[in-house]
Copies of this chain bind each other. A is one copy, B any other.
Amino acid sequence: MAERGAYAKGVVRREEILAAALDVFSREGYRGTSLRDIAKQVGVSLPGLMHYFDSKEHLLTAILQKRDQVDAEAHPADGDFLDGLLVIMRHNRDVPGLVQLYITLAAAAEDPSHPAHAFFIERFAFLRLTLAEVIRDRQSAGMARADLDPEHVARILIAVADGIQIQWALDRSVDMAGDIERLWDAISS
């Protein structure tokens, strides 16, 4: 990895590879694709790929991190963070491979030694904190019942978002964003 040798060229090349890998996983599905396949589609050799990523698990984790970063930039919320989450859920219909990768890695990340372990813990903590804040704001604005527990509802919304992706992966007619929206309507009024 580029530790103190974080020279411009190395960082740029790594970002290029990451962007290409993200694109591959977005279009094609993630079906336990081998590193050789990824390297070929990205346009580097297998050791060329592993020069920038310590292991397959590290690469997959970096792809998910990059995805979050790209999503946040490409889909700025026109409302609050919950609105933004719905926009991303709608966008997820176009990237089934990333949805599958996300769930697979979330399950594997249970192991504390997995590279994605810290990523998911921090991700969930951030989502809980940010969503709870949104709920509090909506309560203040009279847009939600005052007796809702913001922390609890935040956790539930995250769980629904993850769980509904599993159902959508098996049946593409599931309306992920719509179902979350309807849940919010039912819970907030």
Contacts and interface: CB of A to CB of B under 8 A. Distances in A.
Interface stretch (A19-27, A71-79, A99-107): A99-107
B167 A117 contact: no
Interface string A143-179: 0000011001101101111111011011100100001
Interface stretch (A8-16, A41-49, A60-68, A181-189): A181-189
A108 interface: yes
Contact of A166 (B107, B179, B183): B107
Given A110-B96, A148-B186, A152-B182, A164 B159 contact: yes
Contacts of A120: 170
A69 B120 CA distance: 32
Contacts of A162: 159, 162-163, 166
Protomer copies: 2
Contact of A158 (B96, B106, B149, B163): B163
Contacts of A85: none
A17 interface: no
Interface of A: 29, 31-32, 96, 100, 103-104, 106-111, 117, 120-121, 124, 148-149, 152-153, 155-156, 158-164, 166-167, 169-171, 174, 179, 182-183, 186-187
The 6 A-B pairs of least Cβ separation, nearest first, read A159-B163, A163-B163, A162-B163, A103-B107, A110-B169, A104-B107
20 contacts: A31-B111, A96-B110, A104-B104, A104-B108, A106-B170, A124-B171, A152-B179, A152-B182, A152-B183, A155-B164, A155-B167, A155-B179, A156-B160, A156-B183, A158-B167, A159-B159, A159-B163, A159-B167, A163-B164, A187-B187
